[in-house]
Structure 1
Amino acid sequence: MNPSETIISVRDLRLSFGPKIIQQNVSFDLKRGSIFAVMGGSGCGKSTLLKSMIGLLRPTAGQILVGQEDYWAQNDKRRTDINHRFGVLFQSAALWSSMTVGENVALPLEMFTTLPPHVIRRLVELKLGFVGMEQAIDLMPSEISGGMRKRAGLARAIALDPDILFFDEPSAGLDPITSARLDNLILTLRDGLGATIVIVSHELPSLFAIADDGIFLDAVTHKPIAHGAPRDLRDHCTIPEVMAFMNRQADISPTDETKG
């Protein structure tokens, strides 16, 4: 694995709904093997950016390059092929309530491979074992805790051995101990599988613990206003909005430096 290799490049991205601009002038590079945090206050467009990166929302302008390919310039079939490189954990884990944990994890394998059922079952056992959930393979999502549902969602996200993982608020709703365990699991995914990870989150302890790069989106100017590891932004950034977020301060108004 080449840690200096750029795996995704976002170039001058603009995201909007009709005349309403969500974010603009968004540019960054995602290095292979990194854990990249998308940060910012509520309503700044973090999840909207994630949706654009995984193919759920076409940007108004700009490019998302996956390797050397302009993702949104490809036809539907090619985008689907590229999507097989992605694994996604949604905020709610998004498990099908009518399917067992094992059936949820098996779903991508059944949809996108021609493997026989006994091989899929073994792969499901392996993926669940990787996240410490093998004992829950035949349980329903309603029979397990919120933290276990997140881990089951992770197992499904890695079912097709993707090299890029996207997590939307993975620690949301979890107690501090469960959240710390999930952070350790994410680090294990990065180190054990060589995965590159994008995390949308406002959970500062998690960001400081695991992210080595990131971007800060501003809800007022609708632009990124800082770029770097969360720990570095906390310790060295002098932009008031970023300082307020990283240090849990309130009542910070935009300065001339970050307006329009």
Structure 2
Amino acid sequence: MTHDETLISVRDLKIAFGPKLIQQNISFDLRRGSIFAVMGGSGCGKSTLLKSMIGLLRPASGQILLGGEDYWAQNEQRRTELNHRFGVLFQSGALWSSMTIGENVALPMEMFTSFSADMIHRLVKLKLGLVGMEHAINLMPSEISGGMRKRAGLARAIALDPDILFFDEPSAGLDPITSARLDELILTLRDGLGATIVIVSHELPSLFKLADDGIFLDAQAREPIAHGAPRALRDHNTNPTVVSFMNRAADLSSAPQTRG
């Protein structure tokens, strides 16, 4: 499900920590209904770019346009209002360990809506039901598996019905079966909620299954070196770094086996 409407435009973005350049010359458009992948090897700045897009890290220069508004040119109050359009699933799930799963999901509603306690409880059950976690509403994060924590984090990410979801390495630490189930859930939510998704990942099966567009960041060049759907980059790109990254699973499977 893709449309022509552009939700986010990134223009000539430069990200740095003081004098240390992370990435520069980043430009792309995020279309409504798409799943956009931020790809690249470890340490290239994938998660750092995501932090700039969700308001956690001010870029050194450039623009992030959300509905035509320059996000980082707005005052703090307006940026907070724009943030309500975002839902974020962090790599660890980032659940509050002292709260039940239900309380974690309820927290954004309690902070940013005027819903009654009964309405919030109903919505929490609905959001947890969407990710297959309604049974865990009264459990603590320590009482559930890593995959379940990711799903609970996803329920919290959709608590305020955002139209843009950001996922930072959603499959990190999960076994292949649990990872595949999470991928299916992400597609279901995209189709069911009409959400637009930005996913940071280096997991090839997830990238090939989920993303219809993307950008490839390179740690050495410190700028994007490819742009397009992961499958297209795998099949048609000629940059050696991109080719090696997108075909590494085939390289591993053909490597000679050794006995320990």
Query: How far apart are the structure 2 equivalents of 1:148 and 1:142?
Result: 10
8 Å CA contact retained: 2:2, 2:34: no
SS at match of 2:154: helix
- Aligned equivalent of 1:6: 6
Query: How far apart are the structure 2 equivalents of 1:74 and 1:106?
Result: 28
2:201 matches 1:201: yes
8 Å CA contact retained: 2:213, 2:230: yes
- Aligned equivalent of 2:238: 238
8 Å CA contact retained: 2:208, 2:230: yes
SS at match of 1:226: strand
SS at match of 2:98: coil
SS at match of 2:186: helix
- Aligned equivalent of 2:191: 191
Query: How far apart are the structure 1 equivalents of 2:92 and 2:194?
Result: 25
Query: How far apart are the structure 2 equivalents of 1:210 and 1:90?
Result: 18
Query: What is the aligned length?
Result: 250
Query: How far apart are the structure 2 equivalents of 1:20 and 1:189?
Result: 38
Query: How far apart are the structure 1 equivalents of 2:190 and 2:79?
Result: 24
Q: Which runs of at least 4 in structure 1 moved beyond 6 Å after TM superposition?
A: none
- Aligned equivalent of 2:103: 103
- Measured on the aligned residues, the alpha-carbon RMSD in Å equals 1.0
Summarize the alignment of residues 133-212 of structure 1 with structure 2, pairs less than 5 Å apart: 133-212=133-212
Q: Mind listing any 5+ residue stretches in structure 1 that lack a counterpart?
A: 251-260
Letter in 2 for 1:130: L
Query: How far apart are the structure 2 equivalents of 1:161 and 1:209?
Result: 24
Given the two structures, how large is their TM-score scaled by the length of structure 1?
0.95
- Aligned equivalent of 1:45: 45
8 Å CA contact retained: 2:100, 2:141: yes
- Offset at 1:189? 1.0
Query: How far apart are the structure 2 equivalents of 1:11 and 1:247?
Result: 29
Summarize the alignment of residues 210-249 of structure 1 with structure 2, pairs less than 5 Å apart: 210-248=210-248
- Offset at 1:2? 7.2
- Offset at 1:220? 0.2
- Offset at 1:132? 0.3
* Identity across the alignment (%): 81
